[in-house]
Amino acid sequence: MKKIIILSIIFLNIFTVSAFSKNDLYEKIELFGEVLEKIKKDYVDEVDQSEMMGSAINGILQSLDPYSAYMSPELFKEMQTDTSGKFGGLGIEIGMEAGVVKVISPIDDTPAAKAGIKAGDYIVKIGTEQVQGKSLMEAVKLMRGPIGTSIDLTVRRKNVKKPIEFKITRKIIEVQSVTSKVISDKENLGYIRLKSFNENSDKQILSSIRKFERNKKIEGYVLDLRNNPGGLLTQAINITDFFLNDGEIVSTKGRNVSETRKFFARKGDETKGKPLVVLINNGSASASEIFAGALKDHKRAIILGENSYGKGSVQSVIPLNNGGGMRLTISKYYLPSGKSISEVGVTPDILVEETEDEFKINSAKDNQLNYAIKLFNS
């Protein structure tokens, strides 16, 4: 009963300011306590009360939006590596949609990408475990495991009737966020592939741009954000700034005054205003959408490809006293035009859908990149 009382106090603190009256609040807390007692006393199997409390807390957070979630101490420790560029797993960014785990994006050159997992796939089974009803963090825990071991994933894919099964071997994921090279037969285009917005991405992008700028043949740029699930907001702002001479990049609005801010470009376009094409697809999310949306609003770039994912919110990772943490949505971001991309995404200026047969990013069969090259050289 002690744990129920403690949780009731937590609920009181959370819901002090609420749409419903205090009487309604106390009734809900009393009901919660009654349900827990019934489970403890009458449920067919013995229940791990600590695990049940964790699920209850996670339920509160996931009822808010698909991106807020509770992390146990074990998961919180693992999560700390995600933005530093090295972690173990399959190499996919996932989110929740209507209680189902959805692939936001597979990361380039990882086991998941090589196996054929695509942005927009719904993961319905992990090994022998049905995913329906599990939390996002529970799904993450199931997918992670000893390096070198295999796991079976079953997914549902749009316009494919039957479930698709994949066997994927876990490995250490090295996220090299930036690659670059000169492309086109004329060798006149600087191609930059940005796979994620991690803590070193801006330095790598700037180094690539300055290297290209020393090449007198370079007449324009292609910046590839396909299957880029996002990352750090500060990195999105810094990298967008490299391609703008002035103007607003993005604004954030939250309940707290400190979360309501506007971010502007500093004077000086690192590419000296050269033509720019930005490639996006359904796996381009969050920070990728800030970049693409800002450059589209300022008419600084042509956006080419497919509609982006539509994640227009900012999460803060908050440590908790038990060694765990929670990811909580603290603000939403808005493009310079004032538009939110939440659940809408960034619409490309030129719609070019990827070809189904043997399509691979940055290859001879990459029809989207080939289209971008033709724009420059036509």
User: Percentages helix, strand, coil for the chain, rounded to the nearest 5?
Assistant: 30, 25, 45
Report long-range pairs for 137-140 (Cβ below 8 Å, ≥24 apart).
137/58, 137/69, 137/70, 137/71, 137/72, 137/75, 139/94, 139/101, 140/75, 140/94
On the question of pLDDT at 81 being above 60, the answer is no
Taking the domains of the chain in order of start, what are their residue ranges?
2-71, 73-81+86-174, 178-377
| Catalytic residue (choose from 297, 308, 331, 366) | 297
CA distance 240 to 249: 7
pLDDT tens-digit series, residues 154-172? 999 988 999 999 999 999 8
Distance CA 287, CA 119 (A): 16
- Residue 79: the pLDDT is 67
Residue 115 structure tokens = 């196996």
* Domain 73-81+86-174 class in CATH: mainly beta
What pLDDT score was predicted for residue 50? Answer: 79
Residue 286 annotated in active site: yes
Establish whether 297 is a catalytic residue: yes
pLDDT tens per residue across span 183-215: 998 899 999 999 999 989 999 999 999 999 999
pLDDT tens per residue across span 8-67: 444 444 444 445 566 787 888 888 888 888 988 899 998 888 778 888 888 888 889 888
DSSP conformation letters of 227-255 = T---B-HHHHHHHHHTT-SSSEEEEEE-S
Q: Which of 177, 196, 201, 286 is catalytic?
A: 286
Indicate if 311 belongs to the active site. Answer: yes
Higher pLDDT, 32 or 325: 325
* pTM as predicted: 0.79
Please name the CATH architecture into which domain 178-377 falls: Alpha-Beta Complex (3.90)
**Is the pLDDT at 333 greater than 50, yes or no?**
yes
Amino acid code (one letter) for 205:
I
State the alpha helices, DSSP H only, in the chain.
2-14, 22-42, 49-62, 73-79, 111-115, 136-143, 201-213, 233-241, 287-297, 367-377
For 96-112, how does the pLDDT look when each residue is reduced to its tens digit (9 = 90+)?
Answer: 887 789 998 898 888 99
Three-state DSSP state, 225: coil
Single-letter amino acid code for the residue at 212: F
Answer yes or no: is pLDDT of 86 > 80: no
- Cβ–Cβ under 8 Å, residues 328 and 256: no
Q: Say which DSSP state 338 is in.
A: S
Alpha-carbon torsion, ordered 181, 292, 336, 266, to 10 deg: -10
Tokens of residue 319, six digits: 């440590």
The pLDDT tens digits of the residues spanning 226-262 come to 999 998 999 999 999 999 999 999 999 998 888 899 9
Q: What is the pLDDT of residue 142?
A: 87
Task: Pick the catalytic residue from 118, 311, 313, 331.
Answer: 311
